[in-house]
Amino acid sequence: MPVNLNPPLADKLHAVDGVRLGVGEAGIRKANRRDLTLIELAPGSRVAGVFTQNRFCAAPVQICKQHLAAGNIRALVINTGIANAGTGEPGLQASRQTCQAVARLLDLRADQVLPFSTGVILEPLPVERLVAGLPACQGALKAEGWFEAAHAIMTTDTVAKAASARVTIAGQPVTITGIAKGAGMIKPNMATMLGFVATDADIAQPMLDRLVKEVADESFNCVTVDGDTSTNDSFVLIATGSGHARFATVDAPGWNELKAAVTDVARTLAQAIARDGEGATKFIEIAVSGARSREEAKAVGYAIAHSPLVKTAFFASDPNLGRILCAIGNAWGNDPALRDLDVAKIKVWLGSDKTEVLVSENGGRAASYQEADGAAAMQPAEITIRVDLGRGSASGKVWTCDFSYDYVKINADYRS
Amino acid sequence: MPVNLNPPLADKLHAVDGVRLGVGEAGIRKANRRDLTLIELAPGSRVAGVFTQNRFCAAPVQICKQHLAAGNIRALVINTGIANAGTGEPGLQASRQTCQAVARLLDLRADQVLPFSTGVILEPLPVERLVAGLPACQGALKAEGWFEAAHAIMTTDTVAKAASARVTIAGQPVTITGIAKGAGMIKPNMATMLGFVATDADIAQPMLDRLVKEVADESFNCVTVDGDTSTNDSFVLIATGSGHARFATVDAPGWNELKAAVTDVARTLAQAIARDGEGATKFIEIAVSGARSREEAKAVGYAIAHSPLVKTAFFASDPNLGRILCAIGNAWGNDPALRDLDVAKIKVWLGSDKTEVLVSENGGRAASYQEADGAAAMQPAEITIRVDLGRGSASGKVWTCDFSYDYVKINADYRS
């Protein structure tokens, strides 16, 4: 039951010159499922990526990092069903074989291919079935393939996630289109499993490398569903250079506008993941200001977003707001700089676009607070928790969802 | 549905010379509930405590710390219903008034009284009702009051928690009895909300101050239900000195035996909290060895114990064991020293007293692992996850429970 998240419309997803996508059925884990996606990039495309910080980082993530370092990426291949994580040396072999098979089909070197996997951890990737499924994907390659690809990379997602924009920057038209998947095991750290955003702008490699990190920090790295950073998180930014907009340095006219436009697409995808969080009935934005650093602000945001007690209270629409204070008080576990947090200076508001209720100040309940106002503020499907720490000028946001019976159901039943 | 946790039997809880307990109904939050407990200590008793590290530490915790520093504690007063946390200056006043009222009744100074509260956060403590309920508690004071007190301090607990031991140390009989409460908002850091253990041994104050920390680290500080460190966690150790065993220095004969006996009582209480964790259907011990430090071992233990994905898999008895590896890979978030964790050296076993299955080695699934063995290992109500990090000789344990529909139900309904 995603929160205010509409399925993408095929005709609203703009093709990006230089990108073709094709999907197929490989029977990776179950039959009759589109579980394999091939993305082909035009010569001269530049690619940058950020990946999970999980120490059990998946085999395809390790291969991606190697191949990105070599440069000149021309294809991406994505399977669902099996994550190829916790698979040791055989897992690395399987990812290499996958790249070799794609390279043979498209007349590339294996290190020009980036592999991605998502699904169950600790089970071997059936690489023969994957390879057998590739020719169908190749046959289906088309510039308008984004819509089908957005569906083919889903696992426990209930809605496909895609976003697209056409903007004019420094007088040149720029197209940006992206897809993402993810609903559980979501607390990206550097990236999420999986986000792919492409633009036809021409962006110099050092700038693209920087851009992918900056965009991730403002989008995927602000989302959490359950606090579990996946083994396979990957966010990839593609600049095909097939359009006319060129960005060789940060002084290039329109660079900030481009960054804003790419961030906007990525943020829409990232928020879609929280809106479609497993079992979600509410979408929650946690906006923390008055911090000494952005890290502090996000540490407080994550402490609130990861508290099962806060999340279940939102599911119940119960203004049991002491749980939010409790979570804030524990945030120093995320950032030791918060050990000297003075709770007397903290203010907490609860609200939505229309109304905002001051819940707490001076270390306790606000004098003006009325239970009825709190109860009313808990009703909407989209709620903002605003926290002012009163100790600095930095701020940060975290997006999450509530914690429902269905979260337990989905995760107790997954695999079966 | 507590896991292998029997209610205490009144006649198995030994009275501790120098301690009398009385309970009553104060109507703190709801009527007709025994929600107030008074504990009176004989002159000369020594008391030491450890308290929550939550920055929103509750008013009674702040008062406890002040009064303990003054020494010469002679009474404890405990209410349920309202936590008196997130209550600012009025909350501190309410705790002080509580102590003053107890002092008047028992002819003490107010700073000889320790106050404790548990219940809803952010709501004012109805101190007049509490004070009005004290005389009945005083009238009920008796040495055999442990059983009733164990019940009167419960909130979402389904079973009262008490443990008692009589041992002979250095030729002298020693009695140790304790009670605790807690089922949610449980990830004690220094202590849990609430644990009280008393012994009739005579223990010098500096040794008692040290003992309370050492015991907490081996008992309450190894338990987590939901990762939320409460605002009110308190663990108090009382030595009345009414018996004959005397411990003036660590060289005193039997000191290690005493420490072991007290730790044993505290560990039984701590494990009872995880066994009675909100919605628990399974009790899980996570034993981590091969770490470079105890902190590393516990960081890995907590990463596993706090993963909603691991906890729901245990609820489903589904050997979706990749989720355990994923959690281990994220443990560096709890302890940055684990950033260089080499997953190829990690071994993971799943088991119970009778059987143990090697799940993972060499960064992947163990060659010998069979899904059927994993499924069988997930069936018992008590399961041990054993992890060898292969990088040192330190170890640590964490006890927790699974994550069920009832956890959500309990926490979505609490307050209503």
* DSSP string for residues in A342-399: -GGG-EEEEE-SS-EEEEEETTEE-TT--HHHHHHHTSSSEEEEEEE-SS-SEEEEEE
Contact criterion met (CB < 8 Å) for A120 and B322:
yes
Model confidence pLDDT, tens digit, residues A157-200: 889 999 999 999 988 999 999 998 887 777 766 456 788 899 99
CA-CA distance, B75 to B65, in Å (whole number)? 14
Mutation to test the A interface, candidates B52, B121, B186, most A Cβ within 10 Å: B121
The helix, strand and coil proportions of chain B, stated in percent and rounded to the nearest 5, come to 35, 25, 40
B249 is catalytic: no
Can you give the pLDDT at residue A3?
85
CB contact set of B371 (below 8 Å; sequence gap of 6+): B319
Q: Full-prediction pTM beyond 0.90? A: no
Contact criterion met (CB < 8 Å) for A83 and B322:
yes
**DSSP secondary structure of B316-361:** TT---THHHHHHHHTGGGT-GGGGG--GGG-EEEEE-SS-EEEEEE
Element (H, E) at A132: helix A127-140
Give the residue from B360, B95, B103, B134 showing the smallest Cα distance to B232.
B95
Element (H, E) at A89: helix A88-106
Q: Which among A227, A330, A344 is the nearest to B54, CB-wise?
A: A330
Q: Which residues of A touch B315 (CB under 8 A)?
A: 408, 412
Can you give the pLDDT at residue B104?
98
Q: Which whole-number Å values give the CA distances from A358 to A261, A372, A374, A397, B65, in the listed order?
A: 34, 12, 9, 19, 31
Name the phi and psi angles at B281, rounded to 5: -120, -10
**Which one is catalytic: B98, B155, B156, B192?**
B192
Can you give the pLDDT at residue A416?
44
**Predicted confidence band of residue B416 (pLDDT cuts 50, 70, 90):** very low
Q: Which residues of B touch A328 (CB under 8 A)?
A: 55-56
Higher per-residue pLDDT: A309 or A77: A77
Of all residues in chain B, the one with the smallest CA distance to A340 is B55
CB contact set of B406 (below 8 Å; sequence gap of 6+): B1, B278, B279
Compute the average pLDDT of residues B326-350. Answer: 91
Q: Which residues of B touch A329 (CB under 8 A)?
A: 54-57, 229, 231
Contact criterion met (CB < 8 Å) for A86 and B56:
no
- Which residue type occupies A62? Q
Can you give the pLDDT at residue B109?
98
Model confidence pLDDT, tens digit, residues A235-267: 889 999 998 889 998 888 999 999 999 999 989
Contact by Cβ (8 Å): A365, B91? no
CA-CA distance, A38 to A28, in Å (whole number)? 15
Can you give the pLDDT at residue A290?
97
Catalytic residues of A: 192
Tell me how crowded residue A25 is: count the other CB atoms within 10 A of its CB.
17
pLDDT at B189 over 80: no
B193 secondary structure, DSSP code: E
Can you give the pLDDT at residue A406?
86
Model confidence pLDDT, tens digit, residues B2-32: 888 889 999 999 999 999 999 999 999 999 9
pLDDT at B240 over 50: yes
Strand A283-291, strand A382-388: pairing: parallel
**B54 SS3 class:** coil
Q: Which residues of B touch A358 (CB under 8 A)?
A: none
CA-CA distance, B330 to A315, in Å (whole number)? 27
Q: Which residues of A touch B183 (CB under 8 A)?
A: none
Give the residue from A311, A309, A306 showing the smallest Cα distance to A383.
A311
Can you give the pLDDT at residue B146?
95
Give the residue from A178, A226, A254, A243 showing the smallest Cα distance to A14.
A178
Contact criterion met (CB < 8 Å) for A309 and B185:
yes
Contact criterion met (CB < 8 Å) for A124 and B54:
no
CA-CA distance, A214 to A190, in Å (whole number)? 10
The tokens for B339 are 């950033």
Contact by Cβ (8 Å): B332, B339? yes
Average pLDDT across chain B, whole number: 91
Tell me how crowded residue A390 is: count the other CB atoms within 10 A of its CB.
16
Question: Given phi > 0 = left and psi -120 to 50 = alpha, else beta, which region is B273?
Answer: alpha
Contact by Cβ (8 Å): A200, A46? no
CB contact set of B24 (below 8 Å; sequence gap of 6+): B34, B36, B38, B133, B134, B136, B137, B140
Compute the average pLDDT of residues B31-50. Answer: 94
Compute the average pLDDT of residues B33-42. Answer: 96
Taking each helix axis from N to C end, the angle separating B88-106 and B127-139, rounded to the nearest 10 degrees, works out to 30
Q: Which whole-number Å values give the CA distances from B199 to B137, B221, B262, B263, in the listed order?
A: 22, 21, 8, 12
Contact criterion met (CB < 8 Å) for A329 and B229:
yes
The tokens for A348 are 């907490």
pLDDT at A228 over 80: no
**Measured in whole angstroms, how far is the alpha carbon of residue B36 from the centre of its chain?**
20
Q: How many angstroms separate the CA of residue A138 from the nearest CA in chain B?
A: 31
pLDDT at B192 over 80: no
Share of chain B above pLDDT 90, in %: 65
Model confidence pLDDT, tens digit, residues B54-102: 888 899 999 999 999 998 999 999 999 999 998 999 999 999 999 999 9
Q: Which among A55, A309, A415 is the nearest to B320, CB-wise?
A: A415
Taking each helix axis from N to C end, the angle separating A88-106 and A127-140, rounded to the nearest 10 degrees, works out to 30
Mutation to test the A interface, candidates B350, B373, B411, most A Cβ within 10 Å: B411
Give the residue from A310, A314, A301, A201 showing the smallest Cα distance to A260.
A201
Of all residues in chain A, the one with the smallest CA distance to B313 is A412
CA dihedral B359, B361, B366, B372 (to 10 degrees): 0
Question: Given phi > 0 = left and psi -120 to 50 = alpha, else beta, which region is B31?
Answer: beta
Give the total residue count for chain B: 416
Higher per-residue pLDDT: B271 or A105: A105
Question: What's the burial of B65, exposed, middle or buried (CB within 10 Å: 0-12/13-18/19+)?
Answer: middle
Model confidence pLDDT, tens digit, residues A324-355: 998 999 898 888 899 999 989 999 999 876 78
Contact by Cβ (8 Å): A325, B55? no
Contact criterion met (CB < 8 Å) for A229 and B333:
yes
pLDDT at B269 over 50: yes
**DSSP secondary structure of B217-270:** HHTGGGB-SSS---SS-EEEEEE---SS-EESSTTSTTHHHHHHHHHHHHHHHH
**Predicted confidence band of residue A224 (pLDDT cuts 50, 70, 90):** confident
CA-CA distance, A343 to A324, in Å (whole number)? 12
CA-CA distance, A151 to A36, in Å (whole number)? 10
The C-alpha angle B31, B39, B131, rounded to 5 degrees, equals 45
Q: How many angstroms separate the CA of residue A366 from the nearest CA in chain B?
A: 9
Domains defined for chain A, CATH in brackets: 10-275 (3.60.70.12), 283-413 (3.10.20.340)
The tokens for A195 are 């986000």
Q: Which whole-number Å values give the CA distances from A217 to A214, B77, B349, in the listed order?
A: 5, 49, 36
Radius of gyration, alpha carbons of chain B: 22
Start-to-end CA span in chain B (Å): 20
Average pLDDT across chain A, whole number: 90
Q: What are the DSSP E strand ranges found in A189-282?
A: 193-199, 202-203, 234-239, 246-247
- Which residue type occupies B329? G
Mutation to test the A interface, candidates B53, B56, B89, B156, most A Cβ within 10 Å: B56
pLDDT at A359 over 70: yes
Contact criterion met (CB < 8 Å) for A123 and B365:
yes
CA-CA distance, A359 to A370, in Å (whole number)? 9
Contact criterion met (CB < 8 Å) for B57 and A333:
no
The tokens for B330 are 């994220």
Tokens 């607070």 belong to A369
Alpha helices of B107-164 — where are they, by DSSP H? 127-139, 146-152
Of all residues in chain A, the one with the smallest CA distance to B404 is A408
Mutation to test the A interface, candidates B190, B406, B408, B410, most A Cβ within 10 Å: B408
Strand A193-199, strand A172-180: pairing: antiparallel
Contact criterion met (CB < 8 Å) for B56 and A91:
no
Radius of gyration, alpha carbons of chain A: 22
Taking each helix axis from N to C end, the angle separating A322-329 and A308-315, rounded to the nearest 10 degrees, works out to 160
Compute the average pLDDT of residues A306-317. Answer: 91
